[in-house]
Amino acid sequence: MTTAKAFTANSAASALEASSIPRRQVGPDDVEIRIEFCGVCHSDLHTARNEWAAWPTVYPCVPGHEIVGRVAKVGSNVKSFRIGDLAAVGCMVDSCGSCASCKEGLEQYCDTGGTVFTYNSPDPHGTAPVTYGGYSDHIVVKEKFVLHVSDKLNPAAVAPLLCAGITLYSPLKHWNAGPGKKVGIVGLGGLGHMGVKLSRAMGAETVLFTTSPNKVADGKRLGAHDVVVSKNADEMQRHQRSFDLIVNTVAVAHNLDPFLSLLKRDGTLVLVGAPQHPHPSPTIFNLLLARRSMAGSGIGGIRETQEMLNFCAEHTLVSDIEIIPIQEINNAYERMLKGDVRYRFVIDMKSLQK
């Protein structure tokens, strides 16, 4: 075992603080990454504060699953990484590998419940009670769960692709966003701003729904063909029954009916936001009178995450970020709750050495 410097939440109510955590030694199939940048996802906040009843937080908790860094060590069986390579880790570090979902490259839906998430999952190596994430100086991950990153892009702005990027790319692909399709993205935060960029890059007519009138100009700059302030009923009316797909990224419970009624016949509303409290049930007639579907989607598999990173490199597409030192993390959480981030905080991990 080795030790890593980290920032840790020690209870739901306490601020994150500097600490040291154990990391396993590099095994034959492992890659050790010196973390340079780690994005700050709203899931980090939900987890640090134990907001998900279905997935209680084990403390101490080290959040962070948008990780970019340099390979520092490789195990003897590792073939695709060399020391010094730029590499990334997203939301998962292992899975059973043998069930139907894993065989299809959908490790996030491992049928045996064997997905090992990057933080707050039981640690199969027993290094600690649970896995510890990217708010730390290094991480050791099985090669199969490490991604390749193009040198062409700004590595700090690539970090958010590892969760925000793939969480939008996967449903957009699955529900066939592209030319001739009309796609709505609800919420302009970390996930939503990647949704706007990706949907536009895939060729879909893209409309952003925001509750924040002061984000309208940004929505257009990021690529939306139209931006609707969702509290404004007249603006919503303009788009009635016109969408093939709407992806909802909002991090708090809210009424889904206004969005369902914007779907055309056979359209789908995909929920990716994971609020603490459940959404009120939508009106069933809003589904059955137009054969509409409501679905959920979780991150994306490893193969698809690499495909997304390659797509972003081809389209020179990255996240809009604000770089912070790790000492600012608690303030960053408060600002994220106020919607005061354009559009993803990324921790410069050099600050951990201070």
- Residues lying near ligand NAP in the complex (CB under 6 A) are found at 41-43, 46, 163, 167, 187-192, 210-212, 215, 249-252, 254, 272-275, 297-299, 336, 339
Q: Judged by CB, which is closer to ligand NAP: 23, or 42?
A: 42
Return the range that interacts with Zn ion (CB under 5 A); candidates 147-155, 157-165, 238-246, 318-326.
Answer: 157-165
Residue 64 beta carbon to Zn ion: minimum distance, rounded to whole angstroms = 9
Q: Which two tokens stand for residue 56?
A: 């209680």
Query: Is 163 among the residues that bind Zn ion (CB under 5 A)?
Result: yes
Q: Which two tokens stand for residue 95?
A: 């899975």
HSE, side-chain direction, 13 A CA sphere, residue 105 = 9
**61: closest CA among 149, 123, 145?**
123
Q: Which two tokens stand for residue 265?
A: 């016949």
Return the range that interacts with Zn ion (CB under 5 A); candidates 48-56, 159-167, 261-269, 326-334.
Answer: 159-167
DSSP string, 171-237: HHHHTT-STT-EEEEE--SHHHHHHHHHHHHTT-EEEEEES-GGGHHHHHHHT-SEEEETT-HHHHH
Distance CA 231, CA 298 (A): 27
Q: Judged by CB, which is closer to ligand NAP: 4, or 245?
A: 245
Distance CA 141, CA 133 (A): 11
**Binding at 96: pick from Zn ion, ligand NAP, none (beta carbon under 5-8 Å per type):** Zn ion
**Binding at 273: pick from Zn ion, ligand NAP, none (beta carbon under 5-8 Å per type):** ligand NAP
Residue 230 beta carbon to ligand NAP: minimum distance, rounded to whole angstroms = 7
Q: Which residues, 6+ apart, have CB-to-CB distance to 53 below 8 Å?
A: none
Distance CA 276, CA 47 (A): 10
- C-alpha angle with apex 189: 184 to 194, nearest 5 degrees? 60
Q: Judged by CB, which is closer to ligand NAP: 29, or 307?
A: 307
**Binding at 178: pick from Zn ion, ligand NAP, none (beta carbon under 5-8 Å per type):** none
**Binding at 212: pick from ligand NAP, Zn ion, none (beta carbon under 5-8 Å per type):** ligand NAP
Q: Judged by CB, which is closer to ligand NAP: 95, or 167?
A: 167
**Binding at 102: pick from ligand NAP, Zn ion, none (beta carbon under 5-8 Å per type):** Zn ion
Q: Judged by CB, which is closer to ligand NAP: 61, or 78?
A: 61
The residues that touch Zn ion, with contacts defined as CB under 5 A, are 41, 43, 95-96, 99, 102, 110, 114, 163
